[in-house]
C-alpha cells in the first residue's frame, strides 16, 4: 500500500520480522508507555502527529488511546509479547529507492559548563529569542502540510533569521539570552547538533538543557565540508576525527563550524531520571537504545517501529522494537532513522561511528491497520 509519492507498506506477520522472537519487548514497552502518557492526555480527535502526512495512515489520537490504556495495565507488563502481537499489525516500509535507508546515531553530550559567565566559560547556549517566529506553511497550502519556515519581522517583512556566523558576531545579545556558558566552543557546537546536553557545573552538580527552537537556516554537516576540502576522507570521518581535526587546526575552527548555518536555541530542564535521556520532540524522555528519531513528514511520533541495522562494533544486525519519539533536521526519508544511544562519552563514541543501512517495519493498532489496508484497496 502506498500513495503516489510516499512509501509502500507491505503487511508482515510478526514471525516474518527478523529477530522478533529474540527481542526484550519489555524494554520497548517501557518506552511506548511514556508516549502513551502523552497520547492519553490528548484530545481523541487530534491527529496522532499533526506534522505527519498521509503516506501512512497513523490516524487520530482516539485510534491509539485504547491500545495505550492496555499498554499501561499490569497484565500487559507481565506479557509484553502477547500485547504487541495481539494489539498491532506490522508493515514493512519500502521507500521509493527500496527497503533500505540510512541509520545514524545521536546522544546527549556531557559537557563542562557554568550557569554564569566566568573564567573559561565563555561560549553561550542561548534561549529562544522573543522575535523568532515559526510559520506552518500547511496553514497556507495543504500541499505543504508539515513544512515550516522560521524568521522574524523586520519593517513589515518576514525575513530569514540570522545564521550561525551572524549570531556568533553579535546579532543576538547573549547577556539576556544565555541559559549556560560552555567551556569548550566545540562542545557547544556538538550540543547544537545533538539538541541537548547534560551540564557538569563547577560546584559538582548536574543540569540539563534541551532543544527549544532553531533559526531555520540550512543544516550542513561539517564532516561533509571537511571531506570536500580534502581534510578528511569518507572512510575516516567521524565525530572523533572531526574533533581531532578542529583541535589541530584552531585557526580554521570557526570558519568550519560556521559552514553550518543552522543554530539551535535551548531551555533549561531538570534531570528527573538519570537513566533516561532528554525530552525529545515527542514530549517524553528518551530511552537509550529504544528511542528513534524519524522524519515526521512520514512517521508519527509515538508509533512503535521494528528496527534493523548493524550497530558500531557489531557484525550481525541488531533487530529490536523502538519507538518514534524524536526528529532532527537531517532526518529525511521514509526509511531514515537516528538511534538514541544515551548520555556521555561512551554513547557519543557509538553515535559518532554509526552510519549503516537499515530497515523499518511500522506497527499500527489492529483496528487502524484495517483502515490502512482498506484505504490501500481503494487506491489500487
Asked if the model's pLDDT at residue 380 lies above 60, the reply is no
3-class SS shares of the chain: helix, strand, coil, % to 5: 30, 30, 40
Rounded mean pLDDT of 277-292? 94
For residue 139, give the CATH number of its domain: 2.40.240.50
CB 363 within 8 A of CB 11: no
Percent of the chain exceeding pLDDT 90 equals 82
pLDDT value of position 374: 65
Rounded mean pLDDT of 353-359? 94
The C-alpha cell that represents 167 in the structure block? 549570531
CB 180 within 8 A of CB 207: yes
Note down the domain range covering 121: 109-269
The set of residues, in sequence order, having a beta carbon less than 8 Å from that of 64 and lying 6+ positions away, is 36, 39, 48, 302, 365, 368
* Least confident span in 11-15, 151-155, 367-371: 367-371
50-104 pLDDT, tens per residue?
Answer: 889 888 999 999 999 999 999 999 999 999 999 999 999 999 999 888 899 999 9
Answer yes or no: do 185 and 208 share one domain.
Answer: yes
Q: Is residue 164 part of a domain?
A: yes
Rounded mean pLDDT of 334-353? 94
Distance CA 205, CA 112 (A): 11
Domain total of the chain: 2
Rounded mean pLDDT of 239-245? 93
Q: Is residue 2 part of a domain?
A: no
pLDDT value of position 145: 76
Answer yes or no: do 54 and 199 share one domain.
Answer: no
pLDDT value of position 5: 52
51-64 pLDDT, tens per residue?
Answer: 898 889 999 999 99
Report the DSSP pairing between strands 196-200 and 133-136.
Answer: unpaired
Across the chain, what does the average pLDDT equal?
Answer: 93
DSSP string, 191-233: HHHHTEEEEE-TTS-EEEEEEEEE--PPP--HHHHHHHTTSS-
Percent of the chain exceeding pLDDT 70 equals 96
Rounded mean pLDDT of 285-292? 96
Under the banding of pLDDT at 50, 70 and 90, the label for residue 1 is very low
Report the DSSP pairing between strands 304-309 and 133-136.
Answer: unpaired
Which of these three, 269, 299, 328, is where a domain ends?
269
Q: Is residue 1 part of a domain?
A: no
Amino acid at each position: 500500500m502506498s500513495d503516489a509519492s510516499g512509501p509502500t507498506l507491505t503487511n508482515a506477520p510478526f514471525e516474518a520480522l527478523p529477530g522478533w522472537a529474540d527481542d526484550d519487548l519489555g524494554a520497548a514497552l517501557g518506552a511506548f508507555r511514556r508516549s502513551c502518557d502523552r497520547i492519553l492526555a490528548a484530545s481523541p480527535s487530534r491527529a496522532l502527529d499533526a506534522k505527519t502526512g498521509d503516506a501512512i495512515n497513523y490516524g487520530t489520537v482516539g485510534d491509539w488511546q485504547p491500545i495505550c490504556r492496555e499498554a499501561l495495565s499490569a497484565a500487559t507488563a507481565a506479557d509484553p509479547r502477547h500485547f504487541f502481537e495481539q494489539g498491532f499489525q506490522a508493515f514493512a516500509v519500502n521507500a521509493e529507492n527500496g527497503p533500505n535507508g540510512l541509520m545514524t546515531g545521536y546522544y546527549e553530550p556531557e559537557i563542562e559548563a557554568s550557569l554564569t559567565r566566568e573564567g573559561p566559560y565563555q561560549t553561550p547556549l542561548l534561549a529562544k529569542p522573543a522575535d523568532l517566529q515559526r510559520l506552518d506553511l500547511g496553514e497556507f497550502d495543504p500541499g505543504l502540510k508539515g513544512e515550516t519556515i522560521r524568521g522574524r519581522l523586520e519593517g513589515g517583512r518576514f525575513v530569514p533569521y540570522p545564521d550561525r556566523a551572524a549570531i556568533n558576531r553579535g546579532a543576538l545579545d547573549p547577556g539576556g539570552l544565555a541559559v549556560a556558558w560552555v567551556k569548550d566552543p566545540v562542545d557547544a557546537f556538538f550540543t547544537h547538533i545533538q539538541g541537548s546536553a547534560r551540564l557538569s557545573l563547577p560546584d559538582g552538580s548536574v543540569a540539563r538543557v534541551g532543544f527549544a527552537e532553531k533559526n531555520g537556516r540550512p543544516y550542513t554537516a561539517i564532516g561533509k565540508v571537511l571531506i570536500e576540502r580534502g581534510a578528511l576522507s569518507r572512510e575516516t570521518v567521524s565525530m572523533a576525527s572531526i574533533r581531532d581535526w578542529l583541535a589541530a587546526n584552531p585557526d580554521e575552527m570557526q570558519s568550519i563550524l560556521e559552514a553550518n548555518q543552522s543554530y539551535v536555541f535551548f531551555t533549561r530542564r531538570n534531570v528527573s531520571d538519570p537513566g533516561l535521556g532528554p525530552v525529545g520532540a515527542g514530549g517524553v524522555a528518551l530511552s537509550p537504545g529504544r528511542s528513534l528519531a524519524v522524519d515526521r513528514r512520514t512517521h508519527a511520533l509515538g508509533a512503535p517501529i521494528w528496527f534493523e541495522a548493524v550497530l558500531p562494533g557489531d557484525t550481525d544486525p541488531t533487530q529490536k522494537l523502538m519507538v518514534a519519539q524524536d526528529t532532527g533536521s537531517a532526518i529525511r526519508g521514509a526509511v531514515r532513522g537516528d538511534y538514541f544511544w544515551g548520555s556521555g562519552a561512551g554513547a557519543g563514541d557509538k553515535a559518532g561511528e554509526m552510519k549503516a543501512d537499515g530497515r523499518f517495519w511500522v506497527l499500527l493498532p489492529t483496528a487502524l491497520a484495517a483502515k490502512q489496508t482498506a484505504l490501500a484497496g481503494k487506491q489500487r
